[in-house]
Amino acid sequence: MGVRRTAKGVGDFLIDMVGEALTEAILSLLACALLGCLALTAYLSWSFGPRFTIAGAGLLGFFLVHVPGRSSVIPRRAAVGASPP
């Protein structure tokens, strides 16, 4: 009985490890593709008009800094599993 339990534990560990490694590889590939698209967009935008590129980068930076901070604020009572104070 102990051998089966040990084998099952090792099998579960290996499946989790392979799943995490595969997920990391897919996310890394998506990040590289996103970076490549961003570089291509910046190149094409700069060739069209440098002023628009700088203004667009400023607006994008403003959006990236301010929007995630506002959307991630969740009241403590509304959070799942939070106990009342």
| Predicted confidence (pLDDT) per residue in 62-85, tens digit | 887 776 655 555 555 555 555 555
**Mean pLDDT (the chain, rounded):** 78
């959307």: which residue's tokens?
Answer: 71
Residue range 6-21: average pLDDT?
89
Provide φ and ψ at 81, rounded to 5°.
85, 0
For residues 34-39, average pLDDT: 84
How far apart (Å, rounded) are the C-alpha atoms in residues 42 and 78? 40
How far is 22 from 28, CA to CA, in rounded Å?
A: 10
Contact 55, 42 (CB under 8 A): no
Supply the pLDDT for residue 24.
92
pLDDT at residue 20, as a whole number:
92
Rounded CA gap, 61 and 66, in Å? 9
